A and B are shown apart, each in its own frame.
Chain A
């Protein structure tokens, strides 16, 4: 069964460093999402991506964040200069072309900023 994959599973970085989190969505999906979950809290929407551009972003998704689909399979989230408060689990999700399609999540990348 097709699934969303994410790498790495755990990333440790120093404050101020850049990190890139990678996702491979389900192959025939068209919409891609990043969500964030700070430890012990709810899952929060960061950004959605469709047709090679951001379709919507939350107030959390400030200038230090960027997303990209560099090729036909990968979908990346870059954090330019990490802060302690960026420590969280980051989930990638994808869905098909219909607005009512279910979003399927990857296993997440746990980011720890020291």
Chain B
């Protein structure tokens, strides 16, 4: 079974501060994908990024960056120079590949980020 833990339930930062959202995962499978989704107040789920278990290269996309460390089973997400529009709930999720299966996402409980102007 897979598990995703997002220990931070809520975080508040002042605009322009950097913020890191933590994600720790558990899986016995050696092949898996990790994801981050954003859920703004309007409620939809917006895909941000996915990484596969064989690629530990960190990734940067504008103000967003992701740090994947297999040694600690973590896939953390950093927002640099946060903006009010970043206020949302952020979900980390996992798909493990162990042969045949529908490969559904296992989500963490989410971290609610509030960026204060």
CB within 8 Å of B: which residues of A? 31, 33, 35, 41-45, 48, 50, 55-56, 58, 89, 91, 93, 99-100, 102-108, 110
Contacts and interface: CB of A to CB of B under 8 A. Distances in A.
B43 A107 contact: yes
If over half of A's interface residues share one DSSP class (helix, strand or loop), that class is named, otherwise mixed; here it is: strand
Contacts of A50: 102
Contact of B107 (A42, A56, A89): A42
Contacts of B91: 42-43
Contact of B45 (A31, A44, A56, A105): A105
Contacts of B35: 102
26 contacts: A31-B103, A35-B104, A42-B107, A42-B108, A42-B110, A43-B45, A43-B91, A43-B93, A43-B105, A44-B107, A45-B104, A48-B102, A48-B104, A50-B102, A55-B101, A58-B104, A91-B45, A99-B101, A99-B103, A100-B33, A100-B97, A102-B50, A105-B37, A105-B44, A107-B42, A108-B45
Interface in B71-117: 91, 93, 97, 101-110
B21 to A, nearest CB: 14
B110 to A, nearest CB: 6
Interface of B: 33, 35, 37, 42-47, 50, 52, 91, 93, 97, 101-110
Given A31-B102, A42-B109, A45-B106, A102 B47 contact: yes
A110 B108 CA distance: 20
B117 to A, nearest CB: 24
A64 B42 CA distance: 28
